């Protein structure tokens, strides 16, 4: 590996520099993933000024909108380029580093287009803005994938054993949450910029995105500057072409079971992210402002169990914790179905749901990346061909498939009823998510902990 030269274990500060790159790309991605509808299809009634129409906002056909089609097209393009770029990086022999080279090429364009996507070229309703948005979305997702795919592949190469992978995965879960938290400040920064500089709402919002883009570029540059692959990464180049590598990844039965269960997780997680405002306003009849408290509270609470999860995973393996997390998530959605029917105040019921979510959210934040890295390492030792880029790319594809599927199914279920008088559709989303989690449990039950098996095969070494 690595031409048989001595590879050092990366010190903690190098791991942090690497992990802060994830804060960067999560900040860059936040706007496109969460604010695109807010800017181009803003709420009809809002306390802040409504942005102008930059293109037709009505129904094109079958309930579809221009912004919806563009967002879907960008995500689909993003998904299909994952394995392509993974194959490129797995076969790369660049002297600067096979992953690092792609990070260096992509971080500035990704940050730049995360801003340009919110900067229409005509300051009025115009078809040219549609063409510009399509172009910016495709370029943004291409360069974001070019950064994200090799970035995640480094997890299995920068961390040399299962203990280091757990440590790195834990740091990454914190830095991702940090990026999500920074992105969430957009709604507070916009009025601050308006009052401080006298900017109108559109330009103030664009400057918020520009601030995010600048911060993202700086943070995404850190792994390029500090992570020396030749010094810290154990890796071997793959000689397989892209489609052969994809086929071999899918032939890994253990990974396939993990992948299907992970798909179920992303389905259900997206359900709760989209559904929380309905659960609060329709089922609990509470103010929607509680939604801005619930998810951060659950995320913050999950940090408290990071250390116990690391200890338990090292002692008992990752499989029992993942199975318990799927069951806990199932219980969370089962409880969600009964919100508004329980003999407690709304805030207490909401707190019960948040409490149930702390453990599974922590487990799913830490362990999946470490599990994939273990699978990559074991297969690489067995076959001599390391396809870490492809494995993480396939996981990325399934993640996006789960998110897209949830976005498709969730609104359809709401058609059954989304009012206080008729909440059937809202409750149906909770039942659907619970079923998905149970499917995930039974799929992951088929997964075999590769580290436990490896220790058994080598006499505990």
% the chain with pLDDT above 70? 83
* Average pLDDT for 434-443: 94
Query: Model confidence over 276-314: pLDDT tens digits?
Result: 777 887 888 887 667 667 767 777 788 888 889 888 888
Which position has the token pair 């929380």?
276
Most confident of 62-76, 106-120, 264-278, 301-315: 106-120
Burial class from Cβ neighbours inside 10 Å (0-12, 13-18, 19+) for residue 24 reads buried
**Over 80: is that where the pLDDT of 365 sits?**
yes
User: Is 239-453 the same fold as 1-237?
Assistant: yes
| Matching residue, tokens 């664009």 | 206
pLDDT (tens digit, 9 = 90+) per residue, 309-362? 888 888 888 899 999 999 999 999 999 999 888 888 888 998 898 889 899 988
pLDDT at site 4: 40
Which homologous superfamily is 1-237 in? Answer: MFS general substrate transporter like domains (1.20.1250.20)
Beta bridge partners of 64: 61
Instruction: Please report, for the chain, the start and end positions of each structural domain, with discontinuous segments joined by +.
Output: 1-237, 239-453
Residue 192 and residue 74: Cα distance in Å, rounded? 31
110 within 8 A of 25, measured Cβ to Cβ: yes
Q: What phi and psi values does residue 274 have, to the nearest 5 degrees?
A: -80, -30
Q: Tell whether the model's pLDDT for residue 20 goes beyond 50.
A: yes
Is residue 46's pLDDT more than 60?
A: no
Average pLDDT score, the chain: 80
28-42, 123-137, 167-181, 267-281 — most confident range? 123-137
Cα angle vertex 50, ends 46, 55, to 5°?
Answer: 135
pTM for the whole thing?
A: 0.69
Contact predicate 392/86, CB 8 Å? yes
Select the CATH number that applies to the domain covering 239-453 from these four: 2.40.10.10, 1.10.260.40, 1.20.1250.20, 3.40.50.12280: 1.20.1250.20
pLDDT, tens digit, for every residue of 382-430? 766 666 667 777 787 787 777 777 766 776 677 777 778 888 888 998 9
Encode pLDDT of 219-266 as tens digits: 999 999 998 888 887 766 556 556 676 777 777 888 889 889 999 998
Quote the CA–CA distance of 336 and 341 in Å, as a whole number.
Answer: 10
Alpha-carbon distance of 167 to 158, in angstroms, equals: 11
């Amino acid at each position: 590996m690595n031409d048989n030269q001595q590879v050092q274990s990366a010190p903690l500060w190098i791991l942090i520099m690497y992990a802060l790159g994830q804060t960067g790309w999560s900040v860059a991605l936040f706007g496109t993933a969460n604010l695109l509808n807010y800017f181009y299809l803003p709420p009809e009634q809002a306390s802040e000024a409504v942005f102008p129409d930059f293109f037709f906002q009505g129904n094109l056909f079958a309930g579809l909108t221009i912004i919806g089609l563009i967002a879907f097209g960008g995500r689909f393009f993003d998904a299909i380029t994952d394995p392509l770029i993974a194959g490129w990086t797995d076969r790369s022999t660049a002297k600067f580093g096979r992953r690092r080279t792609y990070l260096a090429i992509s971080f500035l364009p990704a940050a730049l287009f995360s801003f340009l996507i919110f900067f229409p070229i005509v300051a009025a309703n115009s078809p040219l803005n549609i063409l510009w948005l399509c172009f910016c979305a495709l370029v943004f997702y291409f360069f974001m994938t070019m950064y994200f795919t090799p970035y995640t592949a480094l997890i299995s190469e920068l961390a040399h054993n299962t203990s280091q992978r757990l440590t790195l995965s834990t740091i990454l879960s914190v830095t991702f949450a940090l990026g999500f938290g920074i992105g969430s400040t957009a709604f507070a920064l916009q009025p601050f910029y308006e009052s401080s500089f006298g900017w109108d709402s559109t330009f103030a919002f664009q400057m918020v995105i520009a601030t995010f883009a600048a911060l993202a570029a700086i943070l995404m540059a850190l792994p390029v500057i500090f992570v020396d692959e030749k010094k810290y990464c154990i890796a071997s180049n793959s000689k397989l072409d892209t489609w052969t590598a994809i086929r071999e990844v899918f032939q890994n039965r253990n990974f396939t079971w993990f992948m299907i269960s992970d798909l179920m997780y992303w389905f259900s997680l997206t359900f709760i992210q989209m559904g929380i405002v309905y659960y609060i306003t329709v089922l609990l009849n509470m103010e929607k402002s509680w939604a801005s408290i619930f998810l951060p509270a659950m995320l913050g609470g999950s940090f408290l169990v990071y250390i116990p999860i690391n200890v338990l995973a090292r002692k008992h393996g990752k499989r029992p914790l993942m199975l318990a997390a799927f069951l806990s998530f199932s219980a969370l959605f089962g409880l969600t179905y009964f919100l508004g029917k329980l003999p407690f105040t709304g805030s207490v019921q909401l707190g019960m749901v948040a409490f149930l979510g702390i453990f599974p959210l922590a487990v799913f934040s830490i362990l999946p990346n470490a599990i994939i890295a273990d699978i990559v390492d074991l297969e690489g030792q067995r076959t001599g061909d390391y396809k870490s880029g492809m494995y993480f790319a396939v996981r990325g594809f399934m993640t996006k498939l789960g998110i897209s599927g949830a976005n498709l199914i969730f609104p359809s279920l709401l058609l059954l009823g989304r009012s206080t008088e008729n909440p059937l559709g809202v409750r149906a989303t909770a039942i659907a998510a619970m079923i998905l989690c149970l499917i995930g449990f039974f799929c992951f039950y088929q997964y075999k902990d590769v580290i436990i098996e490896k220790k058994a095969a080598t006499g505990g070494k």
